Structure formats: structure tokens, C-alpha cells
Structure 1
């Protein structure tokens, strides 16, 4: 019996009846931290990957860079991974190629959004949308591109901030009908609006929680509203920047990091998160195999 694919495991999480929480990660270490903390799914944000490359979230990072990062994350964790595929990186074949590449990299799902290419971060003003027909075409191309029918194609709409709730729900309904496995309506803050969304859609719809942008609704409440999955896309990046900026300020002012050292983990802690014992076991096995081989050659 073959093991279920990443997509199949993500579908099972979404369909089980209790909400799953997917923190955002953006490299191998943060992926390991998410899994070691006991979460059941992970998310790779385009904003976070762009930030690690020194760029804002304006669609400047290539699909190949995003796919390579997804591969690193998928190899670093056993959790099903949802990846941010922006607006598909260009025309129809770009969407097709991106879908194939993210699936091959080990992701469980991707989401496409209904902004033009290049896109803007959902938190930025001045966003624009493509027509619903163009987004439907993107969804259908992605559905045709996947090789595993369980690899999830999620349709994201930024219509709430541009056209309002009714328009956003209408678009999500159209995207469901086009075959999207799930939807995301961005920028929703009020619980009443969330309840309207979940009541209006037939397929799973996913919600995102972003610190210092909109009110944070606890997972238990989101489950009662009808969400099967909540994503915290940028929490680890926000925490990293905060902690690192404080440590750098202390070093600049005091000439030492002593004031913030107590809040820092040890190198041993980091080695543990990265599973140094596994690497050590490989080295030990290699030394044993080498000794055995040398003994065998000497015996001849």
C-alpha cells in the first residue's frame, strides 16, 4: 500500500471536521520549527520568500526561485505544504509550468490569485483585479497541469478590498464552479463577514490571520464560523525581524548583546532543531563502512 501524497494528506486535514492551523515558513529551519511545534500543515508565503531575498512583495521573485524554496521546505518537513503561486507568473503556460514545478517540488497545494502580473501584496493599497473569466482560465490551466488529482488548486481573490464583500463572494463562487478545490478571500476582518463567506460557499474556504493588520480570531472561533484551515502566513518573519532588530540595537548601543542574550537560543538548540544527531549517525556509519572495507582489502 502506497503512502498518501502530500495533497491527499492536506485534503484529509481539511475534510476531517476540526480546524487545522498552518503557520508560514520560508526556509528549512522555519519549516522544521513548525513541525516540531506540533502543527499539521505549513504554508510558504511569497512575501516571506521575497523578504529573505531582500525584496518587497511585488511579484519580482521568479517562479524558479519560489519553486526551489518550496523544494527545500518540502525536504525539511513531512508536513503538507501550501505554496503561494502569486498570479501564476505570467501567461497560460507560466501557470501550467508553475503548477507542474510546485507539485514536483513536493508541495501539497498552491494558490493562485486574481490580480494581474506582476501583483501586489494583499496589504498594499492600489491593488487591481483581472476579470473573473481570466481567473477561471488560470484555474482550469492549473487543474489540467497537475499530475496528482489530490494536489490542491486553491483560488484566492483580493476582491474584498477592491470591490467589497458581495463581489468577493461572487468571484469565489465562480472559482468554485471552475473547479478550484478551495478558496481564499483576502482582507476579511469582521466575523460577520467571515460567517457570510463560509455560508455562501460549497467547497472549503481558508482564512488568513496577520498580526498587526487585522483582529486575530482564535482557531476555535474560526472553526465555529466554518473554516477548516487557518493560515498564519507571516508570523515567524514578523517575530524574526522584531527579535533581530532588538538584538542589533542592543549591540549598537551597548557594544555587546548581553542585554538580549537571555532571549536567544543556544547553538546546541539550533543543532537540535536541524537534527545534528542524524548527520552524526551518518558520519559514524561512514566511518564503520570505511573500516570494514579497509579490513576486507587488507584480508585479500
Structure 2
């Protein structure tokens, strides 16, 4: 009811097992707690917590302005609500090596199943914007080695994201991936690949699970789950999709209200009160409350 009945340690073990299962997992991005519950209700494998979405929710661009506290709190708010694994965006680690060690343990305490750390220069930029810069290989591998050493739960997944494709090309990406694997990464997130052939090349370069980022309006194409499965991708995230869909609907509703003075024409597109209450488990809260405060006054009171 208030919290997931599945312990964080179990979600982490489940996540590792799922990554090794040969299936292609789908983790849509949640922009708040109720959207995370909707993702679970629709039967998806897990939930993603995006730095870009958290930034947007705070009214900020995705250029490294969010803090460890803001990101770990959002991850905790979402992870406590769902029984499925949660993967969270940890940007560049929010500082140097000791800061990064604290980052890992904060996200562990938040109850997520894993995080990804990228090799951009801090402050970072959105992965699909031009003008990115990446750190040297030594710094990138130090980040991953520090993260792996800092974790207390061996099942907590440390995923290495590399943005080097847009800066130095595919051959450099494959070299960076091999170095990140050697440093102790549990999975690889190659950002902004340009074709399925490039995913195949990444698959050939590493034995680790691979993540594909299917974000709209980005540099790459939007491939289907089956297409990505066929080239060996283990996990697909859709980081900003639900926020974009919700904000698009919100814009249309506000335009209608401004034009017509009423939202009558939009009601059919809205989530009903009963569906919202179902997702929030009003009935469970009511049953809990009634079981404790279920009493009747005697006639003389």
C-alpha cells in the first residue's frame, strides 16, 4: 500500500537475473510516482528515472543543474511505490571520486536496482545535444571503479554510459566500452548510436548487457523492441516519452480552455477519477483505515 512489499535487495537480484535472461526489457521513464505506478500496472519490466525529466520537472534545462539530493529523492519516491526494478540516472556522479562513492550509497539507500554514470565532462549536457565533451579514458574508468568499490549490495547494478560516439566516432566508442568493462561495469549504455549496425558492433565488443535509449527528437532512430532484440540489446529505456505525451496533452487542454472557456471537449481524453483512484489504491487505504477505526457508538453515547 504505502510502500512496495518487495525489498530493494530482491529487486536488484531480479534486475540482474532479467538482464541475463536473454530477453529485451522495457523501462519507460516515470515523471512522478503515479506515472511509475501506471508503468507497473501496464506490465512493463521496470521503471526508469531520468535526469532530463527531473530537471524539466524542476523547470531547469538538462545541463547538470540537478543535485544528488534532488535526483536520489526522486528515485526514492518512485522506487518505494513499485515492485519492479528501478534504474536511475546518476549523471556524471555529482562530483569527484569520493563524491561518487557517496552517490552510489545514496541511490542504494533510495531503493533503486541500479544507476548509470556517464563519461561526459562535468557539467554535462543532454546526450542528444551538440557540443558535448567527454573525459579521458583514465577518468572514465576511475568513475566506474570507484562506483563498483563503493556499493554495499553486490547486486546493485553499476552501468557505464559513454557519450563518446558523438565526439570521436564509433571506433573510439568500442575502445571506451572495452575499458569500462575492464573497470568493473555491469552493463553498458552507449548513447546516441546512429544505426542498428552500430548496436551490432557494440554487441560484438562486449559480453555485458547493453542499454538502448529510445528518446524522441534525438539523433538516432526509434527502433522497435524486436529490432533491438535482434541486434542483442538487453534493455530499452524511453526516458522522456511519458512527460512529452503528458505535456502535449496539457498544452492542448490549455489551448482549448483558452479558446472555449471550458474543458468540456477534452474530458473524453482525460484519465477518469476512478482510474486514478485505482492506481493510487484508494480502496486499500480505506480498508486499512476502516480495520483500525471501525467502531460504533453505543445508543447512550
Shorter-chain TM-score above 0.5: yes
Cα deviation for residue 180 of structure 1 reads 0.3
Map Cα deviations across residues 236-283 of structure 1 (whole Å, 9 max, x no partner).
011111111111111111111122221111122111111111111121
Count of residues in Structure 1 that have an aligned counterpart in Structure 2: 292
Cα separation, 2, equivalents of 1:237 and 1:259: 22
- 1:245 match: 251
State how 1:40-119 maps to structure 2 within 5 Å: 40-119=45-124
- 2:241 is equivalent to residue 235 of structure 1: yes
| 1:278 maps to which of 279, 284, 296 | 284
| 1:24 maps to which of 25, 29, 43 | 29
- 2:196 is equivalent to residue 196 of structure 1: no
| 2:230 maps to which of 196, 203, 224 | 224
| 2:261 maps to which of 255, 264, 274 | 255
Check whether the contact 1:6–1:151 (CA below 8 A) recurs between aligned residues. no
Cα separation, 1, equivalents of 2:143 and 2:280: 38
Structure 1 portions without partners, runs of 5+: none
Q: Using structure 2 for the length normalisation, give the TM-score.
A: 0.93
Map Cα deviations across residues 45-99 of structure 1 (whole Å, 9 max, x no partner).
0000111111111111110111111111011111101100000111111100110
- 1:126 match: 131
Check whether the contact 2:177–2:205 (CA below 8 A) recurs between aligned residues. no
Check whether the contact 2:29–2:48 (CA below 8 A) recurs between aligned residues. yes
Cα deviation for residue 206 of structure 1 reads 1.0
Check whether the contact 1:50–1:56 (CA below 8 A) recurs between aligned residues. yes
Map Cα deviations across residues 115-162 of structure 1 (whole Å, 9 max, x no partner).
122111112111111111001111111111110101010000000111
Cα separation, 2, equivalents of 1:158 and 1:119: 10
Instruction: Look up the SS of the partner of 2:29 in the other structure.
Output: strand
